[in-house]
């Protein structure tokens, strides 16, 4: 048993089992705790970036509501795997129509990544939410609530999950490192916090990956295994582009793709996060506004399946051409 626990994925091993144990999300957790105390809740919609505690909150709420019977009254489905109308009409309907166990009076169906459901499946889900609300409460989780139809959103209490503050991420990492008996330097913690960008799941996975290969985790160890661009690398790439050195900037971009294995979306987010820190003398405010608009177009193209390299090269070319480019 102890050996299996030691080999566990830290994200699951240190996932809070009660809402009282959740860190961060101070605007969300108190309201969920009140639902658990009153043993009553509406349909819920959890919206926010990955790694911000949406699934953890749903599981903790179920445990606080049902106690030892939570597994008999909780069903988790992932809409990315089962996104069609057949899943809604069979699996979800069959679960929603059966009576709950225990004294709470309803069960919970947690549908993760609900924004991946087809429009036809969403319409069918809306009818089920309406018809079986007496015996089943739905918790829908998504990254983009705008992808859900309005009738579903209007039937739910909406909770917005924010990226974790650096202090909250750092505190959780220190607690995990202490529990695992690992020594982590302050620089290593800061590197993980910067690389995770408020995603606690990513931060925990990165800490475990680095700690697996070294008892003493340093910033260099973290950089070796980080799969997201670090601020210093993005800064060097943008500096080269702003100086008109497109070839050097492109070389640094390719290094992020090949050496780090970073995705285009992650690089784009890092560029967006670094923009406010670029001095106005280097990139005037009006040029920043135009660039942000251009980044929005690139983000849309990436979401539609465009080439990461071509789109990010276009961003660097836009910068290398000068502040007046792309007006």
In this prediction, residue 4 carries a pLDDT of 42
Would you say 54 and 145 are in contact if contact means Cβ atoms under 8 Å apart? no
What is the second-level CATH architecture of the domain 231-320? Up-down Bundle (1.20)
Q: How is domain 2-160 classified at the CATH fold level?
A: Rossmann fold (3.40.50)
Which pLDDT band, with edges at 50, 70 and 90, does 312 fall under? very high
Percent of the chain at pLDDT above 90? 48
Residue 306, CA atoms < 13 Å, CB-side half-sphere: 16
DSSP 8-state code for residue 133: T
Residues whose CB falls within 8 Å of the CB of residue 212, separated by 6 or more in sequence, listed in order: none
Assess if CATH 1.10.8.60 describes domain 166-225: yes
Query: What pLDDT score was predicted for residue 82?
Result: 60
| Average confidence (pLDDT) over 242-255 | 92
Q: How far is CA 201 from CA 37, 48, 227, 300, in A?
A: 28, 14, 14, 25
Domain boundaries, the chain: 2-160, 166-225, 231-320
Alpha-helical runs (H) found in the chain: 2-6, 10-13, 29-38, 54-66, 85-87, 93-97, 119-131, 150-154, 166-180, 186-196, 200-212, 219-225, 231-242, 246-258, 264-274, 285-303, 308-320
What is the predicted pLDDT for the residue at 327?
A: 42
- Confidence label for 5 from pLDDT (cuts 50, 70 and 90): very low
User: Averaged over 149-171, what is the pLDDT?
Assistant: 93
For the segment 275-299, what is each residue's pLDDT rounded down to a tens digit? 888 888 888 888 888 889 999 999 9
Q: What is the pTM of this model?
A: 0.76
User: Tell me: the pLDDT tens digits for 112-145?
Assistant: 989 888 888 899 999 999 999 999 999 999 988 9
**Is 2 a residue whose pLDDT tops 80?**
no
Give residue 136's pLDDT: 94
State whether the Cα torsion 96-100-105-111 is positive or negative: negative
């Amino acid at each position: 048993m102890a050996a299996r626990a030691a080999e566990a994925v830290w994200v699951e091993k240190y996932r809070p089992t009660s809402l009282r144990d959740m860190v961060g999300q101070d605007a969300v957790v108190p309201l969920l705790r009140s639902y658990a105390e009153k043993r009553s809740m509406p349909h819920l919609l959890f919206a926010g970036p990955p790694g911000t505690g949406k699934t953890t909150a749903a599981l903790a709420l179920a445990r606080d509501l049902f106690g030892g019977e939570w597994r008999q009254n909780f069903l988790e489905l992932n809409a990315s795997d089962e996104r069609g109308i057949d899943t809604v009409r069979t699996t979800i309907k069959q679960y929603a129509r059966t009576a709950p166990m225990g004294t709470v009076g309803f069960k919970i169906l947690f549908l993760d990544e609900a924004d991946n459901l087809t429009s036809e499946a969403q319409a069918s889900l809306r009818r089920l939410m309406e018809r079986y609300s007496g015996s089943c409460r739905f918790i829908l989780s998504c990254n983009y609530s705008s992808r859900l139809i309005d009738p579903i959103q209007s039937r739910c209490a909406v909770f917005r999950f924010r990226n974790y503050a650096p202090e909250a991420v750092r505190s959780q990492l220190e607690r995990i490192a202490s529990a695992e008996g690992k020594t982590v330097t302050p620089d290593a913690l800061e590197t993980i916090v910067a690389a995770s960008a408020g995603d606690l799941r990513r931060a925990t996975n990165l800490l475990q990956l680095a700690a697996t290969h070294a008892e003493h985790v340093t910033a260099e160890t973290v950089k070796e295994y980080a799969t997201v661009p670090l601020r210093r690398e993005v800064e060097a790439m943008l500096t080269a582009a702003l100086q008109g050195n497109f070839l050097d900037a492109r070389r640094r971009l390719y290094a992020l793709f090949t050496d780090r294995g970073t995705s285009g979306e992650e690089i784009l987010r890092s560029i967006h996060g670094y923009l406010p820190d670029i001095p106005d003398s280097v990139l005037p405010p009006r040029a920043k506004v135009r660039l942000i608009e251009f980044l929005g177009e690139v983000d849309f193209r990436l979401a539609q399946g465009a080439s990461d390299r071509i789109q990010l090269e276009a961003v660097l070319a836009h910068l290398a051409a000068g502040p007046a480019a792309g007006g």
